[in-house]
Each structure stands twice: as C-alpha cells, then as structure tokens.
Structure 1
Amino acid sequence: RGFYETADVRTYDGDGNNTATYEVRQLTTSAAWVREFGSQGALNIGIRRGLGETLVATGDPALPEVSYQIGDVSAALTLDRLDNLYFPRQGYFARIGMLGSRKALGADSNFVQADLDFIGARGFGKHALQYGLRLHSTTSGTAPLQSIYRLGGRGRGIGYRRNELSGQNYAVLIGGYLYELADVMGRSAYFGSTVEFTNAWDQRSQLRLDRSVVNAGVYLGFDSWIGPMLFGYGVRESGDGTLFLEIGQQF
C-alpha cells in the first residue's frame, strides 16, 4: 500500500508559546501480515519504506529544513474489547507495539521505539469510570523530529494543546468519568472529565511519576453521524489551560 501524508508539527517553549511550525510531508509504501483473532484482537507485522521532508511553515527562517528517508519494520498485538473507542463505558483495549528504524532498510538513522497502551472502562447505568496507562519509549538510538512522540489533548495531557509536549519517551496515567446525558436520534451525548498524570522525557532515566504534570479537564461529547466530537477545557497544575475541539480522536 502507498500513502502520502502531510502534517503540521508545532514546537513550543517552556511557557507554552508556539516557537515554530513545521510542515511534514512524506510518501511511503508498506506491506503487512495481519492475523486476526475473531473480532477482538489482531497481530500485525509490517515493513515500510519511504521519503519525506520537514519545511518551516512559521518561525525563524534560519531553522533547518530536512529531507529524510524512512525504512522500518513494526509489530503490534492488539486486544479490543471496548464497547466504544471514543466514549468507552465497558471493557478494555490493550496494545503492545514495537517499531525499528534501520539503515539497512534505507532509513537515515537506527532507532527502536516500544509502545504500551491500555484503556479500561466500567459502566454503572448512565455512569462509567475509565482508567488507563500509556508508556512509549525510544529504547535504542534517537528518533528524529518526524518520529518523536507528541502529546496533548484528552488522554495524552488534557491540559496541553495537541503536539505541545514532545520527547523521546512519555508516560500518561489516566482516570476518567463519563455520564450519558441524552440520546439524540439514536446517537449519545456525554459529559466527561479526566485527571491525567503526564510528561515527556528525552532520557529514559528521567521516567519518574513524581516529575509528572497533573492535568484535569471536562468536556461535552457527541457520538455524531460524522464522527465523535468533543468540546471542553483542560488545565495543568501550573494554571495554564486550553479550550479544545476534537473530532474523530480516540481516547
């Protein structure tokens, strides 16, 4: 399969000010072997080759623009027993994955990333409690700009804007509450809130819970005909916060 992707990658200073925006463009081709386990799980093993470039869209024009090559292999095991990936009320979702970028496959650099994601939910009538953990780490080498982890938004630091946090490693501990407000022509509307311990680090030795930032947020959600929609407000322990509108974003 072939893909052409573009994305805006923003960088921020320590005060949350946008210092630059990069436009990342990449063209890739990939092949994968998938083994499904009924409707509740899958094992995916893939290989990818491609090229891309990062262009400075806003910011200091002296910032470097880079062309790069992609060559990696990946594997992921997924178990999905959630009733809804966007507004979970019952069940669990777990994913373990690994990606290896190798010069032998045409990449510019060697690095390895390992990912663990878990989200669980338990419903009580119109109420539901949610809990989760994300642990993502560059276990070998150094990931380049286009491959570093980026956080922000519900489930990834609700007190930050999307892509406001970045690093070679990150961890998120999540606790959430969901209440079904109403049923609108067969589609549900929700009130939700989360508390999240979030941070990103460049050195794995810095992965400590006591260095995490506490985030909290509330939102209104609607499982609409065009996709899940959320509107809310998140704040982090420094007192800085952000309004957000998300469409089609999984928990």
Structure 2
Amino acid sequence: GINLSDDFRGDSAFNIGASYRKNGINELGGEWLTRLQLGDHQELFSEFYQPLDAGSRWFVAPNLFAETQNVEAIMDNDPIAEYRLQRYGYGLHLGRQIANNGEIRFGIGQAWGEADVRIGDPELPDFNFEEGYYQLQYSFDTVDNVDFPREGEDIGLTLRQYDKGLGSDERYRQWEFKLDKAISHGPSTLVFGGRYGRTLDDAEVVTSSFMLGGARQLSGFRQDALPGQNISLARLIYFRRMTPRSFLPLDFPLYLGASLERGRAWNNDNEFDSGYINAGSIFVGYETPLGPLNFSYGLNDEAERALYMNLGRSF
C-alpha cells in the first residue's frame, strides 16, 4: 500500500509498503508473514505462525522486527524537538484461537535502539535504550471487508509490562484498546469506534508514546504527527456506495464518505496535554485491482488541515 499526507505547511509524510504471506508450509498449516514499509515510518516485520495440533487451535509465533520513525518531543504544548527513533527486536508468543474469529496470545519480547535529535536544540541528548516486556493480546474480527467494511466488528486489546528482569531500562505498564463496528442499510454504512491507550507509570516519553494523526485518526494532522503516552480517539465514519452492484465477477465500486472524530493526547509528566480536539474529514474511495484507493481532506479545531492519499486499507 501507499499513504501520503500533506498539512499545507511544508510538512508531509510518505510511506509505501507491501506484505507477503506463505500458507501451508507444513502439515499442521504453518504460515510465514512478512511486512515491509519504506518512507517516514520504516518497518520490517516477520512472523512464523505454527499451529501445535491438527485442529490449529494452539500455536506458537516467533517474530523479528525493525522500525524507524519520527517522534516529536513536546513541552508546554509546543514542539521542542523531533527525534528519529530506531528500534530492533524480537518476540515469542504462545496463543490459542477462539472459535473462527478470535485469538488470545501471551508472549515476551526484547528490543533495543536509539533516539537521535533530528530537528531542534542540538544540546538535547541523543540516547540509547533497551526494552524487555511481557505481552497479553486479545483480538476478535468479524469484519466482512477490511477495505470498506459493511458489517462486523474488529476488537483488539493489548497489555504490556516492561520489566527490568527482561533487560528493560525502565519498569512500566501500558495497555491499548481498539474497536470498530460496521452497520449497513442499503448502500449506506456507519462505522463507529476508536482507540484508547494508557501508560500507567513514569517512562521515557519518546520511546513510550502512542501515535495519533492521519486520515480518520484525528484528521487534519499529518500521519503520526501527535504523540502521547496516553491517547483517546472516538470516531464515526459514514460512507455510501455510489455505483450499482455488478453482476460480473469483477466489481470496482465507488464510495463517498465523511467522518467525525474527537481525540486527545497527553503525557504523564504534565508537560503536554493537547486537550480534546474535534476533527472531521470527507473522502472518496474506489476499489481497484491494486486495492482500495482513497483521497481525503481533513481538518480540526486546532486550525490544522491536511490532504491524504491511501492505496491500501483505509480504516
């Protein structure tokens, strides 16, 4: 996929990525998934999913990952620097599938990296870091179409505890909850949901921040422009299919839509709190042979506005 955002102030973000999944590697149905993304947010992730029994209920999933992204440091609600954050690591999960649509995982992971000042006061320190954590993750997905969902729900809950016993520089806890639910009537669809993430203890802000910003992720901000150790986002998305359903095997529908969003980002040290921000967007989407193509215009009550283009998943 491809995503591009521009905030009309000379700042833009661009990413291009692809994924590859190899199924049926062995008799138990092992799978190998690899994702690669290049651009402002660079990522390489590779996981081997290995069922432990013939029913494919229990599984193990080792993974390797590397990522690089920009993270703003904010004090008194003003950016004072932008760090280039690099992180490399690995993990191992043990999990079980729940019915046909859910799974639960428990695992451990370790990561290390560095944060270098990219923009800002050159006297601000660069630093290295190490992380080690336990993770519990639950997911449930009945969405009928990941690109333009018409019905179903997508739920995710992730709990992490960073622990010095696993090599982490700091001990702290984080959790994040995500929800999207789609309801349709005729050609019209409503998707409502959001995200809520918390950091429960003191931690280095640059390495422990969640990200908001981007189309329907607090529209008006460019992609991942608003970091915070704690975030909240609620959103309501409406879209309507503008073309009739095709009786042919190939069907490339056109959609028009809009969103309303309300969100907040804040840190535990009280140096930054965005307050609640109201945002919205309008968009046109088209399902193409290469995936969904989506053009959006977003704005918010912080006088931020941006244009977005996505080729790939839109929500």
**1:216 aligned residue (268, 275, 280):** 280
User: Tell me, which stretches of 5 or more residues in structure 2 are unaligned?
Assistant: 1-61
Whole-angstrom distance in 1 between the partners of 2:314 and 2:91: 24
Shift of 1:10: 3.8
Partner of 1:233: 297
Aligned-pair Cα RMSD in Å: 2.8
Higher relative contact order (CA 8 A, sep 6+): 2
User: Judging changes above 3 Å, is the alpha-carbon distance between structure 1 residues 161 and 19 closer, same or farther for their aligned structure 2 residues?
Assistant: farther
User: Tell me, which stretches of 5 or more residues in structure 1 are unaligned?
Assistant: none
Number of aligned residue pairs: 247
Q: Which moved more, 1:184-193 or 1:149-158?
A: 184-193
Q: Which moved more, 1:19-28 or 1:173-182?
A: 19-28
Does residue 22 (structure 1) correspond to residue 83 (structure 2)? The answer is: yes
Shift of 1:112: 0.6
Does residue 137 (structure 1) correspond to residue 202 (structure 2)? The answer is: no
Does the 8 A contact of 2:205 with 2:229 survive in 1?
no
User: Judging changes above 3 Å, is the alpha-carbon distance between structure 1 residues 50 and 247 closer, same or farther for their aligned structure 2 residues?
Assistant: same
Partner of 1:112: 173
Shift of 1:8: 2.2
**2:153 aligned residue (89, 92, 101):** 92
Does residue 72 (structure 1) correspond to residue 133 (structure 2)? The answer is: yes
Percent identity, aligned pairs only? 24
Partner of 1:31: 92
User: Judging changes above 3 Å, is the alpha-carbon distance between structure 1 residues 27 and 218 closer, same or farther for their aligned structure 2 residues?
Assistant: same
User: Judging changes above 3 Å, is the alpha-carbon distance between structure 1 residues 250 and 94 closer, same or farther for their aligned structure 2 residues?
Assistant: farther
Does the 8 A contact of 2:70 with 2:84 survive in 1?
yes
Q: Which moved more, 1:100-109 or 1:5-14?
A: 5-14
Whole-angstrom distance in 1 between the partners of 2:259 and 2:63: 37
Shift of 1:230: 2.2
Partner of 1:146: 207
The SS at the match of 2:242 is: strand
Does the 8 A contact of 1:2 with 1:27 survive in 2?
no
Shift of 1:250: 5.4
Does the 8 A contact of 1:78 with 1:95 survive in 2?
yes
User: Judging changes above 3 Å, is the alpha-carbon distance between structure 1 residues 187 and 66 closer, same or farther for their aligned structure 2 residues?
Assistant: farther
Does the 8 A contact of 2:221 with 2:306 survive in 1?
yes
User: Judging changes above 3 Å, is the alpha-carbon distance between structure 1 residues 52 and 12 closer, same or farther for their aligned structure 2 residues?
Assistant: closer
Shift of 1:120: 0.8
Shift of 1:75: 0.8
TM-score, normalising length: structure 2: 0.70
Partner of 1:197: 262
Letter in 2 for 1:87: F
The SS at the match of 1:133 is: strand
Whole-angstrom distance in 1 between the partners of 2:195 and 2:269: 15
Letter in 2 for 1:240: E
Letter in 1 for 2:297: Y
The SS at the match of 2:165 is: helix
Does residue 187 (structure 1) correspond to residue 252 (structure 2)? The answer is: yes
Does the 8 A contact of 2:71 with 2:206 survive in 1?
no
